[in-house]
Amino acid sequence: MTKVTMTVNGKSRSAEAEGRTLLVDWLREGLRLTGTHVGCDTTQCGACIVHLNGEPVKACSVLAQEVDGAEVTTIEGVAGADGTLSTVQQAFQDYHGLQCGFCTPGMVMAATSLLKENPRPSEAEVRHYLEGNICRCTGYHNIVKAVMAASGQDVPAVAAE
Amino acid sequence: MYDFELVRPTNLQEAIEALQAEDAQALGGGQTLLPTMKARLAMADRLVALSGIAEIKGICTDDNGRICIGGGTTHAAVQSGCAETFPALASLAGRIGDPAVRNRGTIGGSLANNDPSACYPAAALACNATIVTQNREIPADEYFLGMFTTALEEGEIVTEVKFPVPQAAHYEKFIQPASRFPLVAVFVARYADGVRVAVTGASSDGVFRWGEAEAALSADFSEDAARGLTAPDAGGMISDLHGDGAYRAHLVKVMCARAVKACL
Ligand SMILES: Cc1cc2nc3c(=O)[nH]c(=O)nc-3n(C[C@H](O)[C@H](O)[C@H](O)COP(=O)(O)OP(=O)(O)OC[C@H]3O[C@@H](n4cnc5c(N)ncnc54)[C@H](O)[C@@H]3O)c2cc1C
Ligand code: FES
Ligand code: FES
């Protein structure tokens, strides 16, 4: 075991890690930050997406020791200190962009990165960017609407067409 | 995943030395190796992370006009860094997997792995890129030796890949949406001295050059010439639940024609 320290959601945090400890397990078990989810064993679902040094990555496919010293933002660090939801989180609520909520942390982290890179994406760009995020519930339409709304673009405020 | 020791060298020499140990393996972006190890389909006593080695990252142009990409350069960095200088390669990189995979996965890892459905092998072979290691330079024509097999020797690290830039090029990928890999994809590269066509996703021997298409397109670089080709033999093609060999063979021809059309 080795002590690994990262800046997580703005604070320096430490926990032990084996060579094989994945970033997602270090966050969930080491720091008890369980908002980041594990939805698959195959690096395909995106439920575990966090921002590593500002970029979205799948925390289930990064080794904790490898990124010792990095800066990480998880879903717990997205809302304001007083609990005010971020624009993307609020839009997911307003447009019913979730049902069971399992994929939502990854969706919000990915969508937040998209809007940072591309503040006014087209619907096609939203769908393309979120290709690595799998949702078993919503059918994606309301997720896409939420992201469009979060980018300040007009979206019909109906739950589903 | 079975446990292992993780080593984080900060320069190439340290990495080369760390890889001398028994059962040591390089870790690129981990986007293939870690899922494989999680499934216990692979194990190692020691992983040597290449991500801390600045000298094998980045993109530049050499005196011969070749685009030189460090082996540890991520797909995302190629997507943005080659957008002006080699748009066909940037576009290929930008369609690998998804944004999170592209932020970790590297060109060296993709070429070392040589998955029969991977994207970069098609570009490297179509351009006869040079694969550089700490020991030698290997032309792509001599590098790909069959599914998951390359000319790399134990402990050899892909440090750089050099691409002669084609006059025109396009990568046409027919995506297998569940895996995000190509079902079949074709890279067409046109040079002053002829056209090269490389196919991935189709053959059970991995990436290959389609000789008939190269001959026809070198004589007449047109969509009609591509459409007039006979699809390659379905015999050696991958057959699985996503598509049988005949379907893949047909797709090779269609993807090639689309790629040519996009070049014109
Ligand atoms: C959801 C998903 C979708 C994907 N879609 C695609 C796709 O559409 N097209 C595609 O081509 N790929 C795809 N991939 C694979 C991805 O491109 C991987 O990044 C790539 O195949 C391996 O690169 P890596 O840097 O992650 O290598 P790793 O996984 O770290 O390593 C792979 C192998 O290469 C070796 N290795 C790594 N770097 C080097 C080096 N510099 N020198 C020598 N050996 C090295 C390792 O020891 C290991 O054997 C996908 C992966 C995922 C998870
Ligand atoms: S848990 Fe990371 S991609 Fe599914
Ligand atoms: S809301 Fe249930 S998986 Fe997306």
The CATH number linked to B140 is 3.30.465.10
pLDDT (tens digit, 9 = 90+) per residue, A40-75? 999 999 999 999 999 999 999 999 999 999 999 999
- Give chain B's domain count: 3
DSSP per residue, A10-35: TEEEEEEE-TT-BHHHIIIIIS--TT
Look at B99 and A129 and tell me if their CB atoms are within 8 Å. yes
Within this chain, do residues B83 and B159 fall inside the same structural domain, yes or no?
yes
Which of A60, A61, A62, A74 should be substituted to probe chain B, the one whose Cβ sees the most B Cβ atoms within 10 Å?
Answer: A61
Look at B49 and A113 and tell me if their CB atoms are within 8 Å. no
Which of A16, A74, A131 should be substituted to probe chain B, the one whose Cβ sees the most B Cβ atoms within 10 Å?
Answer: A131
B33 C-alpha to center of ligand 1: Å? Answer: 7
- Given A20, A41, A56, which is nearest B100 (Cβ)? A56
Sign, CA dihedral B45-B51-B52-B54, equals positive
Percent of residues in chain B assigned helix, strand, coil, to nearest 5: 35, 25, 40
B58 C-alpha to center of ligand 2: Å? Answer: 28
Q: What is the CATH number of the domain that holds B256?
A: 3.30.390.50
pLDDT given at position A156: 66
Look at A61 and B47 and tell me if their CB atoms are within 8 Å. no
Pocket of ligand 1, candidates B16, B50, B75, B96: which has the most ligand atoms within 8 Å of its Cβ, to mutate? Answer: B96
d(CA B94, CA B83): 10
Within this chain, do residues B151 and B120 fall inside the same structural domain, yes or no?
yes
Q: Which domain holds residue B153?
A: 54-163
Name every chain A residue with its beta carbon within 8 A of the beta carbon of B8: 65-66, 68
- Residue labelled with tokens 């530049």: B60
Look at A46 and B103 and tell me if their CB atoms are within 8 Å. no
- Tell me the pairing of strands B24-27 and B46-49: parallel
Within this chain, do residues B158 and B191 fall inside the same structural domain, yes or no?
no
What separation in angstroms does the CA of B191 have from each of A27, B11, B13, B197? 50, 36, 36, 11
What separation in angstroms does the CA of B47 have from each of A65, A75, B91? 11, 29, 31
Helix (H, G, I), strand (E, B) or coil at A70: coil
Determine whether the shortest distance from the Cβ of A137 to ligand 3 is under 6 A. yes
pLDDT tens string, chain A, 161 residues long: the values are 899 999 999 999 999 999 999 999 999 999 999 999 999 999 999 999 999 999 999 999 999 999 999 999 999 999 999 999 999 999 999 999 999 999 999 999 999 999 999 999 999 999 999 999 999 999 999 999 999 999 999 886 544 44
Name every chain B residue with its beta carbon within 8 A of the beta carbon of A49: 100
pLDDT given at position A159: 46
Within this chain, do residues B154 and B93 fall inside the same structural domain, yes or no?
yes
Distance from CA of B191 to the nearest CA of A (A): 32
Contact between A136 and A158 under an 8 Å Cβ cutoff? The reply is no
What single-letter DSSP state applies at residue B5?
A: E
* Counts for chain B of helices (H) and strands (E), in that order: 11, 12
What separation in angstroms does the CA of B16 have from each of A105, A111, B11, B158, B210? 39, 39, 9, 11, 36
DSSP per residue, B103-166: HH-BHHHHHHH--TT-SHHHHHHHTTPEEEESS-EEEHHHHB-STT-BSPPTT--EEEEEEPPP
Q: Please count the other Cβ atoms lying within 10 Å of the Cβ belonging to residue B143.
A: 22
Q: Please count the other Cβ atoms lying within 10 Å of the Cβ belonging to residue B151.
A: 16
- Burial track A15-26 (b if 16+ CB lie within 10 A, e otherwise): bebbbbbbbbbb
**What number is the ipTM of this complex?**
0.95
Name every chain B residue with its beta carbon within 8 A of the beta carbon of A57: 100, 103-104
Instruction: State chain B's mean pLDDT as an integer.
Output: 97
- Given B30, B34, B100, which is nearest A46 (Cβ)? B100
Is the entire prediction scored with pTM above 0.95?
yes
Mind listing the domains of chain A with CATH numbers? Answer: 2-76 (3.10.20.30), 87-150 (1.10.150.120)
Cα B11 versus chain centre, distance:
24
Determine whether the shortest distance from the Cβ of A98 to ligand 3 is under 6 A. yes
